[in-house]
């Protein structure tokens, strides 16, 4: 096991009606002018934005609003937010939404707190030295951005989708009211559940060894999400199910599942990022579409780990040997994904990339073989292209 740091300063305020506490929570940060950042019209239509502005009014906190964040959030919107923060003297960003909105808020926070083009962070050119304080009111359980240090932004100039992480951007608080997710369409709910599982799975498949505690927590999170994802297909307003999934989303991505290990593989995420940059697919669904092909491509490199996953998470029989169990676990995972309506191929995801597009994505993914992706196998451009082809 490796040395680690674990740092999760986000105050989680979890449960029914917790969105009403937002005014007090911003006030505790000593901030005076809030940018309310959100996505589409649903936050308005549902009345949530009204409740938020009412709570800020009551706490005598000024605000400006910026909506219109889209899935795979765009750099142009980030620039718009940075300009608005500067012109309005904003000192706190309140993200009302899911991962896209919170990620966009983090990028705005970096950009408004320092001189220089914020894209340089996502383009591996420099490290952030400051970020405006951020709070989140979560409306989609998926990305885990509400407690994480990471954010992913898409640059429309070339459709590069890139992630950047720094503790500076961990939200001060995260308001998590599971009822706010009742009205999500099933496809988005299940795509979120898949994303949550993948955040744990990416870390579970590491090459450093881990701790019993970390593995046990990871297995608990995976089994819990599988149980309640199935329930949510039939009962979208089941509070317990929404709550378990929402809390799993945060714990899967706040660092708890990588204590003692090397941080995990993340090749599936890198492959999906290129898909998402080019085709604008739902992130979780994109992960579902490539994971099985990734797993089959690399499982020979870590059969024991895949077998442990199969036995402890997917319930595969202990009688199978490691290689058999590994493959049975991958099949069981794909069966589960199908059972919640997720695609397990690019075709099922609704996209049919040409050979040229595959080579282009693979090339971007590995920066033209400047880097490899993943750790179970260190994948080069040719490997990534091979996995995309397997996933078609």
Which residues sit at the interface with its own copies, rule CB under 8 A? Answer: 1-9, 11-16, 18, 211-213, 216-217, 219-221, 223-224, 227-228, 240, 243-244, 247-248, 251, 259-260
SS3 state at 367? coil
Q: What DSSP assignment string belongs to 245-267?
A: HHHHHHHHHSSGGGTTS-----H
Taking the least distance from each CB to its own copies, the nearer of 220 and 345 is 220
Nearer Cβ to its own copies (110/228): 228
Q: Please, what is the minimum distance in Å from the beta carbon of residue 144 to its own copies?
A: 14
In whole angstroms, how close is the CB of 270 to its own copies at the nearest point? 28
Closest residue by Cα to residue 167 from 153, 152, 150:
150
For the four alpha carbons of 110, 115, 120 and 125, in that order, the dihedral sign comes to negative
Nearest to 166, CA basis, from 203, 121, 204:
121
Comparing CB distances to its own copies, the nearer of 199 and 364 is 199
Please, which residue, 13 or 197, has the CB nearer to its own copies? 13
Q: What is the token pair recorded at 92?
A: 């706190």
Shortest Å, Cβ 385 to its own copies: 38
Q: How far is the CB of 101 from its own copies (least distance, A)?
A: 22
d(CA 148, CA 340): 26
Task: Name which of 278, 277, 306 is nearest 291 in CA terms.
Answer: 306
Q: What is the widest separation between alpha-carbon atoms in the chain? A: 65
Neighbours of 42 (CB within 10 A): 14
Q: From CA 60, how far away is CA 214, in angstroms rounded?
A: 43
CB of 179 to its own copies, least distance (A): 11
Rank residues 216 and 350 by Cβ distance to its own copies and give the closer one.
216
Least spacing, CB of residue 382 vs its own copies, in Å: 37
Decide whether 198 or 243 has the Cβ nearer to its own copies.
Answer: 243
To 5 degrees, how large is the angle CA 252–CA 97–CA 126?
70
């Amino acid at each position: 096991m490796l040395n680690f740091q674990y740092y999760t300063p986000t105050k989680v305020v979890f449960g029914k009606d917790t969105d009403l506490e937002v005014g007090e929570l911003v006030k505790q940060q000593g901030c005076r002018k809030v940018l309310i950042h959100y996505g589409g019209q649903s936050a308005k239509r549902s009345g949530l934005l009204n409740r938020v502005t009412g709570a800020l009014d009551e706490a005598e906190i000024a605000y400006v609003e910026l909506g219109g964040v889209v899935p795979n959030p765009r750099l142009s919107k980030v620039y718009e937010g940075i300009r608005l923060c500067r012109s309005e003297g904003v000192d706190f960003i309140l993200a009302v939404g899911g991962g896209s909105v919170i990620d966009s808020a983090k990028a705005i926070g970096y950009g408004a707190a320092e001189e220089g083009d914020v894209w340089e962070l996502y383009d591996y050119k420099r490290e952030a030295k400051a970020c405006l304080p951020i709070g989140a009111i979560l409306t989609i359980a998926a990305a885990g951005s509400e407690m994480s240090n990471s954010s992913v932004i898409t640059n429309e100039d070339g459709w590069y989708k890139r992630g950047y992480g720094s503790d500076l951007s961990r939200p001060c608080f995260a308001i998590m009211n599971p009822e706010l997710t009742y009205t999500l369409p099933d496809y988005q709910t299940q795509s979120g559940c898949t994303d949550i599982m993948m955040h744990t799975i990416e870390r579970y498949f590491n090459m450093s060894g881990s701790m019993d505690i970390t593995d046990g927590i990871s297995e608990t999170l995976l089994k819990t999400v599988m149980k309640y994802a199935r329930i949510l297909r039939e009962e979208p307003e089941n509070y317990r199910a929404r709550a378990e999934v929402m809390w799993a989303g945060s714990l899967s991505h706040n660092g708890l599942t990588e204590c003692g290990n090397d941080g995990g593989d993340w090749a599936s995420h890198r492959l999906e990022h290129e898909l998402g940059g080019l085709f604008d697919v739902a992130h979780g669904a994109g992960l579902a579409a490539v994971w099985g092909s990734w797993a089959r491509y690399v499982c020979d490199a870590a059969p024991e780990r895949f077998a442990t996953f199969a036995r402890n998470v997917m319930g595969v029989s202990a009688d199978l040997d490691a290689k058999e169990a590994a493959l049975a676990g991958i099949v069981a995972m794909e069966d589960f994904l199908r059972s919640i309506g997720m695609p397990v191929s690019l075709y099922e995801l609704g996209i049919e990339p040409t050979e040229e597009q595959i080579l282009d994505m693979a090339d971007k993914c590995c920066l033209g073989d400047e880097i490899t992706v993943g750790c179970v196998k260190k994948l080069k451009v040719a490997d990534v292209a091979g996995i995309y082809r397997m996933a078609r």
